[in-house]
Amino acid sequence: MPGIDREGIAQLSLLETALWPLKGGPRNVATFDTSYKFKAGTETRQAHVSVYAPLGLQNIDEYVLWGLMGMSLSRTHPDPVLMATPYWIIQQLGMSIGGFQYDQLRASLERLAVVAYQNTAFYNPVTQQHERVTLHFFSSYLPTRGRGADVDTDRAWRIEWSAMFFQMCRTTGGTLLFDLDLYRELTPAARRLFLKLEDRFWRSKRVFMNVDDLTINGLGFSADRPLKKRKFDLTACIRELRDHGIVELGRGHSDPKDLFLKRGKGLYVVQFFEGPYFRRPLAERTTAKQRAIADDALYQPLKIIGVDDAGIRRLFKQCSRGLIQRWIRVTDAAMHEQPRGFPGFKASPAAFLMDAIQNGRMPPDWIYVHEKEYERARWDQERRTQASQESALREQYAAERRAALATFIAGPEGQRHFTTYEATFLDFYRVVEPDRYRDAARDAATGKIEREHFQFPDFGVWLLERHQPTLS
pLDDT score at 237: 95
Each residue's pLDDT tens digit, 278-294 = 887 655 444 444 456 77
CA–CA gap between residue 332 and residue 254 (Å, rounded): 61
pLDDT score at 397: 84
Instruction: For 123, list phi and psi in degrees, rounded to 5.
Output: -80, 115
Each residue's pLDDT tens digit, 220-269 = 999 899 999 999 999 999 999 999 999 999 888 999 999 999 888 889 99
pLDDT tier at 77 (50, 70, 90 boundaries)? Answer: confident
The average pLDDT across 375-397 equals: 75
* Residue 403 scores a pLDDT above 50: yes
pLDDT score at 49: 94
Radius of gyration of the chain (CA): 29
CA–CA gap between residue 274 and residue 202 (Å, rounded): 9
CA–CA gap between residue 217 and residue 40 (Å, rounded): 20
* Residue 136 scores a pLDDT above 70: yes
Each residue's pLDDT tens digit, 340-367 = 888 889 889 999 999 999 888 888 888 8
pLDDT score at 464: 65
pLDDT score at 288: 40
Q: For a pLDDT cut of 70, what percent of the chain falls above it?
A: 92
Sign of CA dihedral 88, 94, 98, 103: negative
pLDDT tier at 158 (50, 70, 90 boundaries)? Answer: very high
* Residue 273 scores a pLDDT above 90: yes
pLDDT score at 293: 74
Instruction: For 343, list phi and psi in degrees, rounded to 5.
Output: -80, -10
The average pLDDT across 27-52 equals: 88
Q: For a pLDDT cut of 90, what percent of the chain falls above it?
A: 40
H or E stretch at 178: strand 175-179
pLDDT score at 282: 53
Q: Which domains, and CATH codes, for the chain?
A: 1-185 (1.10.10.10), 190-289 (no CATH), 290-363 (no CATH), 370-467 (no CATH)
CA–CA gap between residue 17 and residue 27 (Å, rounded): 18
pLDDT score at 290: 43
- Between 95-99, 370-374, 414-418, 467-471, the lowest mean confidence (pLDDT) is in 467-471
Query: What is the 8-class DSSP label of residue 77?
Result: S
Reported pTM: 0.71
The average pLDDT across 120-131 equals: 88
* CB-CB contact of 357 with 298 (8 Å): no
Pairing of strands 267-274, 247-248: antiparallel
